[in-house]
Amino acid sequence: MKAIILAAGKGSHLSPFSDTRPQPMIGVAGRTILDNSLELLNSSGINDIFVVVGHKRDKLIDALREHDHDGLNIHYVEQKQNRGIGNAVMQVKSKISPGEYFLLLYGDILTADNIFSKIQQSFHAFKSPVASICLPPSNEQFGNVFLNAQMEITKIIEKPKSNNLGNYVLAGVFVLPASFFQLLESNGASMEKALKKMVAGDGLRASMWEDEWLDVVHPWEILTANKMIMDSWEESSIAKTATLEANVTLQGIVKIESDVLIKAGAVIEGPCSIGRGSYIGNNSLIRSYTSLGKNCEVGSGVELKNCVVMDNTQIGRLSFIGDSVLGENVDIGSGCMTVNRTVDWKPISVKNGKRISTGMSKLGAFIGDGVVVGAGNMIQPGTVVHSGEIIPACYSVTHK
């Protein structure tokens, strides 16, 4: 069976991180969402994969080349204009033979266990089109589905209102026949209308996914995704070329990649991951649920707590980064702090286009790629710093 990964959309709600990368290139737990999907597809026996690219296509294509030797046969096709999900699926029409079934997945969904193996089992049991469904914490953002006792989907409501919510939502994974392209063509390339036509016609069965599932929509959900993957880890791994100096303390499950240098006195509390070629300074504290990307530098006396730090980022000495996400090539000066709660412990809201309440009482900052934060800055909870911004150092005394 072939797989189609939809990775062309911009995902504006994930700004500032989606401004400079496709959504599947968001980093969590030491890898990208795309890496996670490809590994699970491979484990489920699917290695012929078509990726629909669009927004920031070159970044994604470069990443796909890193999987050339993973036993995967990866191709990409381009959606030149963002014309919706159905149009993205249509880009792969010529790659699917008549009578063939294919697995379709949305590129921004994340599971720790193998949702692709589960839906294939359901497909072989039903011998008909299948959609994976799940029970998310909140079902207002997703297409709601209604079922009968035979696990047949009887109704899909794409944009539900609060008085018309089903228990289950579409999980963004489908097994569909080649004839689905005809449904898309006859319904103006609308994914919603084509699925509803299938429900009303030949039928669409449900594959129940009962493990954790996440559609990464907002930047703070990167932290949720990071925790979900790390909680699934069962053992530590430390590369042979990693160097841990005297008095380095390791606690819990840690993943330390090649050519990492951890200086004396550092404490690493798992679960956490430290990417290839990164440097951890003397007496630093890397606390649970921290993911540090490749070639990062963490100065002496720094504390990192529950944060995702992407590749090639520097954090100056005596800084605190908590409950935050930092993009690639960020430069944090010495003595900076991300404040991660309000004085009254009220839920923190994030202004990202419009202000949204996260419902979280602990949350730091979201700092885009290439940002420079000068020494001594204190960043208030829920702050979004857009890519390329430069924040001057914060001086308490200036020249007189």
Amino acid 299: pLDDT: 98
* CATH value of 2-217 in 1.10.1040.10, 3.20.20.150, 3.40.50.2000, 3.90.550.10: 3.90.550.10
The tokens of 292 are what? 């540090």
Read off the pLDDT of each residue in 101-126 and give the average, rounded to a whole number: 95
Query: Residues of 291-321 as b/e, b for ≥16 C-beta within 10 angstroms?
Result: bbbbbbbbbbbbbbbbbbbbbbbbbbbbbbb
CA 324 to chain centre: 14
Separation of alpha carbons 284 and 287, rounded Å: 10
Band of pLDDT at residue 134, cut at 50, 70 and 90: very high
On the 0-12 / 13-18 / 19+ scale of CB atoms within 10 A, 398 is exposed
Amino acid 353: pLDDT: 79
What would the pLDDT profile of 71-92 be if each residue is shown by its tens digit? 889 999 999 888 889 999 999 9
What would the pLDDT profile of 216-229 be if each residue is shown by its tens digit? 999 999 999 999 99
Amino acid 156: pLDDT: 86
Residue 283: how many CB atoms within 10 A of its CB? 17
What would the pLDDT profile of 255-285 be if each residue is shown by its tens digit? 999 999 999 999 999 999 999 999 999 999 9
Does 53 have pLDDT greater than 60?
A: yes
Does 15 have pLDDT greater than 70?
A: yes
Partners of 48 in the β-ladder: 73
Q: Where are the domains of the chain?
A: 2-217, 237-391
What would the pLDDT profile of 325-363 be if each residue is shown by its tens digit? 999 999 999 999 999 999 999 999 998 878 899 999 999
Q: pTM of the full predicted structure?
A: 0.92
Read off the pLDDT of each residue in 153-165 and give the average, rounded to a whole number: 71
- DSSP assignment of 269-303 equals ESSEEE-TT-EE-TT-EE-TTEEE-TT-EE-TT-E
Residue 78: how many CB atoms within 10 A of its CB? 14
Read off the pLDDT of each residue in 287-291 and give the average, rounded to a whole number: 98
Amino acid 30: pLDDT: 93
CATH for 237-391?
A: 2.160.10.10
